[in-house]
Homo-oligomer: A and B are copies of this chain.
Amino acid sequence: MLSCCVRNVLCTLKTPPCIATLALQHSRRHCSTSSCEDLDRVSTLLQLCVDRQYVSPDQTNAELFQRGMSCVYGPLGTELRRNLLEQWWHSVTSSSAQVFGINTLSSSKDAAADGPGQLRIVESDYLKHIIEQQELSKEQLVQEVQALIHRSPSLRTDFLQGALEQFVPALELVNRKLPFGLAESGLCFQPSDGSGCPAEVTQTSLVWFCSPRTSSHWLDHWARQRLKWWRKFARSPSDFSSSDVPVEELEGAASRGVRISYSFPWGQEPLETLWSRGHAELLQTHKGVRSKLQYREGRKSVPHVVSVSGNMDRGVKAFLSNSLQQLMKQDGKQKLLRRKVLKLHPVLAPVKVALDIGRGATMELRQVCEGLLQEFMEAKIPVWPGYLETLPTSMEQLNAKYDEMGVLFTVVISDNTLESGLLQVRSRDTTIRETKHISEIKNFLSRYISAADNI
**Could you tell me the distance in whole angstroms from the C-beta of A427 to the nearest C-beta in chain B?**
24
Does A105 contact B149, Cβ atoms closer than 8 Å? no
Contact B117 A119 (CB under 8 A): no
19 interchain pairs (CB within 8 A)?
Answer: A56-B169, A72-B102, A72-B105, A74-B169, A77-B103, A78-B101, A98-B385, A106-B187, A120-B124, A121-B121, A122-B122, A123-B198, A128-B149, A131-B146, A137-B138, A153-B197, A175-B391, A186-B187, A378-B454
0/1 interface trace, chain A 393-429, chain B, CB 8 Å (1 if under): 0000000000000000000000000000000000000
Checking B70, B96, B142, B370 against A131 with a beta-carbon cut-off of 8 angstroms, the contacting residue is B142
> Which residues does A use to contact B, with CB under 8 Å?
53, 56-57, 70-75, 77-79, 81-82, 89-90, 94, 96, 98, 100-107, 109, 114, 116-128, 131-132, 137-138, 141-142, 145-146, 149, 151-155, 162, 165-166, 169-170, 173-175, 177, 186-187, 189, 191-192, 196-198, 200, 296, 370, 373-374, 377-378, 380, 385, 388-391, 454
How far apart sit A100 and B74, CA to CA, in the bound complex (Å)? Answer: 8
Main SS of chain A's interface residues?
Answer: mixed
- Which residues of chain B are within 8 angstroms of A177 by Cβ–Cβ distance? 388, 390
Q: Which residue of B lies closest to A128 (CB)?
A: B149
Residues of the B chain whose Cβ atoms lie less than 8 Å from the Cβ of A100: 74-75, 78
Which B residue's beta carbon lies closest to that of A116?
B125
**Cβ contact within 8 Å between A200 and B107:** yes
Residues of B within 8 A of A390 (CB): 175, 177, 296
A174 to B170, CA, bound (A): 48
Other-chain contact of A198, B75, B107, B200 (Cβ < 8 Å): B107
Residues of B within 8 A of A72 (CB): 102-105, 162, 165-166
The 4 closest A-B pairs by CB, nearest first: A75-B100, A73-B103, A94-B377, A138-B138
Contact A380 B90 (CB under 8 A): yes
Bound-complex Cα distance A191 to B121 (A): 10
Residue on B with the closest CB to A95? Answer: B377
Bound-complex Cα distance A187 to B75 (A): 19
